[in-house]
Amino acid sequence: MFKKVLIANRGEIALRVIRACRDLGLRSVAVHSTADADALHVRFADEKVCIGPPPSRQSYLNIPALISAAEVTGADAIHPGYGFLAENAEFAEVVQKCGLTWIGPQPHVMRTMGDKVSARQAMEAAGVPVVPGTPIIETDRQAEEAIERIGLPVIIKATGGGGGRGMKIVDEPRRLLTQLAAARSEAQAGFNNPAVYLERYIGRPRHIEVQVLGDGQSAIALGERECSIQRRHQKLIEEAPSVALDDARRVELLRAARKATAAIGYRTVGTLEFLLDENKQFFFIEMNTRIQVEHTVTEAVFGVDLVREQMRLAAGDPLHLPAEMRPRGHAIELRINAEDPVTFAPSPGTITALNLPGGIGIRVDTHIYAHYRVPPFYDSLLAKLIAHGDNRNVALARVRRALDEVVVEGIKTNCDLHRRVLSHPDFIGGRFDTHFLERL
């Protein structure tokens, strides 16, 4: 096992990794921009290094600065968290070439699964169902032929994208080429890669993801998470297990995820994402080769520390968890963001008063504190509120109670939106899809 971990990230995930390091008896190194000098991950790490000014490109995305920080502190491993460079294969290669342990998947696997077209091909080869679609669209004629074969509506997607950027829905042939050009332009601006492909558009799907772990030889699927409550393809509420799956379909989905993870020789934790259509058929859409924001709901129902498992696997340990594990109860996570509840615009500023909830079955992962200044440079996530109970009704009651205890003054948050969702009959009854918030 390595001895000192540099955490190439900030906020609540940096604190999460620091805690796992402490549990394992490892030392931790926090990096920070000048805007984060007073952040909690900086305070609680064993060592700290300032790596640049506030803009991410000059700090958290600055590979030479991160490597230098590891060298000057004697860190022998790097954990990337999520976001920033977590799925950057070039960064992983640089880390390894410098003789450091990369706490993540192999770079070639990151490249394969980070490109949505090659990921689709890998899953098809493993026998996993994928949404009918195309390779990269090179010409307008290829796109026109594709919609004749797939049918309308279709969705245009950026091969290296995420978060909804570079995605366009086409429901009329006359709009195809205009939307194709717009998607390519967005993809180039967002990811420096204009490549796009087409998929059949599933109108009212549920977004189901499977937590997987692999040691390069074998793999396990540690249950599924329901992630259908989204706004503009950004998840807001996640829960485990999903109420949309019966036992037979769950067994089928987890078996497919386990098979796919082993087929690509995956070594670390990761997430396979699927769409579930109205006929309860599931289709692979992408893989996230990192720890997820919502990993906490899986930890709650399975009692497994996933960040600790990441570190064990990075150190070369084989999988030690049972191949078949059943969830214990139900967990729900709310993402509490610093944003205007009406316009959803970011709401940076100083938190003048703060109260965080507690009690049986409640977990809060956060990096904020009273008088903390929320900087305008980064993601708006303030906290993750997780409730666990013997069943979904208990978890719902606990998360509502906990949400009512949340006090964040001085800035705006999306807490009122969460209250509206949690009290809606369709959410309570498990009748929702990825367009739920559009109809709220």
Q: Which residues participate in catalysis according to the annotation?
A: 290
Q: Is 219 helix (H, G, I), strand (E, B) or coil?
A: strand
Contact in structure between 5 and 17 (CB atoms under 8 Å): yes
Q: How far is CA 278 from CA 245, 303, 427, in A?
A: 12, 32, 17
The tokens of 172 are what? Answer: 């009329």
Candidates 335, 310, 316, 359; CA nearest to 413 is: 335
> What residue has token string 């990369």?
102
Question: CA dist 31 to 37, 292, 323, 365, Å?
Answer: 9, 20, 37, 19
Residue found under tokens 């590979």 = 63
* Chain centroid to CA 138: 30
Beta-carbon contacts of residue 117 (< 8 Å; ≥ 6 apart): 135, 136, 159, 195, 197
Amino acid at position 10, single letter: R
For residue 170, what are the β-bridge partners? Answer: 154
Beta strand 330-337 pairing with 381-389:
antiparallel
In angstroms, the CA 119 to CA 130 distance is 10
Closest by Cα among 116, 112, 110 to 88: 110
Q: How many CB atoms lie within 10 A of CB 4?
A: 17
User: Which CA distances in Å does 190 have to 136, 163, 181, 354, 435?
Assistant: 17, 10, 14, 35, 24
Please give the single-letter amino acid code of residue 55.
P
Q: Within 13 Å of residue 353, how many CA atoms lie on the same side as its CB?
A: 4
Mapping DSSP to helix (H, G, I), strand (E, B) and coil, where does residue 392 land? helix
- Residue type for position 308: R
User: In 3D, which of 142, 116, 145 has the Cα closest to residue 131?
Assistant: 116
How far is Cα 246 from Cα 14, in angstroms, rounded to an integer?
A: 36
